Amino acid sequence: MKIQDIFIALLVPIILGFGFVIAKPAMQYFPTYLLMGMRFTIPALILVWWFPLPKGLYFDLFKVSLIGSTLQYGLTYTGLNIIDASSAILLVQLEVPFGIIIAFFLLKEIPTIKNTIGLIIAFFGVFILTGAPNLEGKYIGVVLTLAGAFTWALGAVMAKPLSKKIGALALMTWLCVFSGPMLIMVSMIFDGSPIPYFLSANLNSWLTVMFLGFIMQPIGYAAWYYVLKKYPVNKVMPVLLVLPVTGLLTSIFLLGEDPPKQVFLGGLVIISGVGMILFTRSNKKKKR
């Protein structure tokens, strides 16, 4: 991976990890689906005018938006609203092993023995993490977060061929166009009119909305689809290991969370398993 592409790739875990954590206090003022709906609608309204209609791809975009955005963010951020951000940011690392499992069933890609061991280690880390005192009685939040990680992995696999057809920024834009209205519609069905939430929100929550809509979504995900388009998934995924570092530091210093030692132990085991999957060593020698 080129140096400039490495820097672009690193924007992804830094921006996403920070945004993931600061969204938690904002959900005290905005329901989960409404917050996510605004996050997608803002960049859609700004960028949609710059990209032509992706003819022939509407249904594919709808599927990816429904699974990888609407369903995924609803699950993940509802889980985040229940459990500590420090634990949630570690649980979402299961996106990588889930991706291996999805590839096995959908693409018939058989995982290596090393990947299988990594899967077992990662899920053992989840077992340790869920026994932490700060997650006691919050298992619904854990399940929702894990379900969100699974749907994110499924959406990423589905989005990769689309990024090659219409480009990274165009893909991000049209996914926002499809996802924003769906998320807001779900919020209106379950939470009622958004107007009372708009009027009662404080300045910090609106600043969070601005960060999610103007920075995290357009810049973070455009960078993600850009590197995903240029490089194999197994070359891009390792950068996501920076995400828990960013998220943990943000949750500790900005939210004042004090994760118990069990969270760090479980997180270390999860990251070790994920790292075993991501960092592979090629034994192939160049032919002379």
Give residue-wise pLDDT tens across range 137-191: 899 999 999 999 999 888 887 887 787 788 778 888 999 999 999 999 999 999 9
Per-residue pLDDT tens for 14-67? Answer: 999 899 999 999 999 999 999 999 999 999 999 999 988 888 888 999 999 999
Cα distances (Å, whole numbers) of residue 15 to 63, 138, 155, 205 = 25, 27, 20, 17
Cα 116 to Cα 217: distance, rounded to the nearest angstrom = 32
Segment among 9-23, 83-97, 157-171, 199-213 with least mean pLDDT: 157-171
The band of 285, judged by pLDDT with boundaries at 50, 70 and 90, is very low
Q: pLDDT digit string (tens) for 214-266? A: 999 889 888 887 887 787 766 676 777 788 888 888 998 989 988 888 888 98
Which pTM value belongs to this model? Answer: 0.82
Domain segments of the chain as ranges? 3-278
**What are the CB-based long-range contacts (under 8 Å, 24+) for 50-53?**
50/173, 51/166, 51/169, 51/170, 51/173, 51/174
- The pLDDT of residue 227 is 84
Q: How far apart are the first and last CA of the chain?
A: 24
